[in-house]
Amino acid sequence: MVTISEKGYPLVSADDPKTLVSTDWLAAHLSDPDLRILDGSFYLPTEDRDPRAEYDAAHIPGARFVDINEISDARSELPHMVPPVEKFISRMRSLGVGDGHQVVVYDGAGLFSAARLWWLFKLMGKSDVAVLDGGLPKWQAEGREVEDLPPVIRDRHITVQRQAHLIKDVTQVAAASKIGTPQIVDARSAPRFRGEEPEPRAGLRAGHIPGALNVHYKSLLNDDSTMKETDALRAVFEEAGVDLKKPVITSCGSGVTAAILSLALERLGHGQHSLYDGSWTEWGSYGDLKVATG
């Protein structure tokens, strides 16, 4: 049963195993036999960080490492595109993640790439998946236990039902840009969105998809990289001109931080959001697609 606020909005628990859980929640459930914890850390090349090495040095007890660059479509020239269903199944089984498991995903930035892995699970029809609010930095700042031991993995069957409505390709996004619906919301920073800063990937034009709105993903987070309360999230979207009663396509540089917007929309009970997987890396490289600036 969904509780509704006085303003008619659905109220989401601070600990929701289908979207976001606190470090207190994870600590209380750490020994649950059907809990699976995944380290989905990913960093931009400019950050000069090695997520696998950091995982090997220290991770939440029992956590398994997932490389979003590896669990992707190797046939695509675009970075970390959604993998074929068969590859997702294979990688999850090798990690001992399957049906009946409650999955919690975290990353070493606080709340960054973990949302992408959450969205990928959701795309594959798995709903019992949550992001750890504040991630590994908050966990460690609170003095909680970490380890450097490899997990004991047992194969587990996993059933997948791809939810095609949660993902959009360039043709669908181009149609939305032209028609004006669904709304396209870009998670990149305002200077990148306006075309005032060059893109970090070589060869990409600067600017944004015509008609898109801008909600920088960091505007949805607190200073400690935890996600803001739902009323604050709603205010950020509305101040950017997003109509939360209408469908939304989230986008960003390469489909990672767009998932933070998707997670926030899910927290708000917005059931009509999808993600543009190719994002600006795809759009900005096609010379025949229009680009807006300013």
What token pair was written down for 55? 């995982």
Contact between 120 and 105 under an 8 Å Cβ cutoff? The reply is: no
Burial letters for 58-77: b for 16+ Cβ neighbours within 10 Å, e otherwise? ebbeebbbbbbeebbeeeee
**Integer CA distances (angstroms), 3 to 9, 11, 265, in order:** 8, 5, 17
Please say whether the beta carbons of 72 and 80 come within 8 A. Answer: yes
How many CB atoms are located within 10 Å of the residue 129 CB?
A: 23
d(CA 112, CA 226): 10
Instruction: Single out the residue of 257, 28, 217, 226 nearest to residue 135, CA to CA.
Output: 226
Q: What are 14's two structure tokens?
A: 């601070």
Listed in sequence order, the DSSP H helices in the chain are 23-29, 51-57, 85-94, 114-123, 135-141, 170-179, 190-194, 230-239, 258-267, 279-283
Active-site residues, by number, are 252
| Structure-derived torsion over alpha carbons of residues 221, 224, 225, 230, reported in degrees to the nearest 10 | -40
65: helix, strand or coil: strand
Distant-in-sequence, close-in-space partners of 138: CB < 8 Å, separation ≥ 6: 23, 110, 132, 224, 225, 226
Chain position carrying tokens 């696998």: 52
The answer to whether the beta carbons of residues 256 and 280 sit under 8 Å apart is no
